[in-house]
Homo-oligomer: A and B are copies of this chain.
Amino acid sequence: MPLFVVATPIGNLEDITLRALRVLKEADLIACEDTRHTRKLLTHYQISKPTVSYHAHNERERSAEILRKLEAGLTIALVSDAGTPLVSDPGFRLVRDAIDRGIPVVPIPGPSALIAAVSVSGLAADEFAFFGFLPARRAARRARLQ
């Protein structure tokens, strides 16, 4: 332990914080939404670390396995393909279970597509609601927006 929840770039590899790079370099294991995708980032910054996949289709088994490793003393970083994990991205089960077991969960703040968009939207952003991905189909999307 701990489990670091690390924000990564959303399109420009320069959009990563100094602390995120350090945490990725120092972690024993990096849990990735897609290991091939994250490998590009790690290779770019010459970070050579073991990775394991963690996504919607294996989260139950993988979460249990990652928790065992955290409890055995490993430091693990959780990343998604882009942006901040858990915000329209996998990680909820792992973070919730880690909190339940008293494992420290530390956010490494960084890029979020939502906040980047809000900041330059030209709309007042004192309050807003986030609904995640809209349905791909036009009728369903229109129904959701109404």
Binding site for B on A (CB under 8 A): 5, 7, 10, 12, 14-19, 22, 84-88, 91-92, 95-96, 99-100, 105-120, 122, 124-132
Contact = CB atoms under 8 A, between A and B. Distances in A.
B22 A18 contact: no
Contact of A111 (B87, B92, B96, B109): B109
B87 A99 contact: no
Contact of A119 (B86, B122, B131): B86
A39 to B, nearest CB: 19
A42 to B, nearest CB: 15
A130 B129 contact: yes
5 contacts: A14-B19, A18-B18, A105-B120, A114-B115, A126-B132
Among A105, A106, A120, A132, max chain B CB count under 10 A is at A120
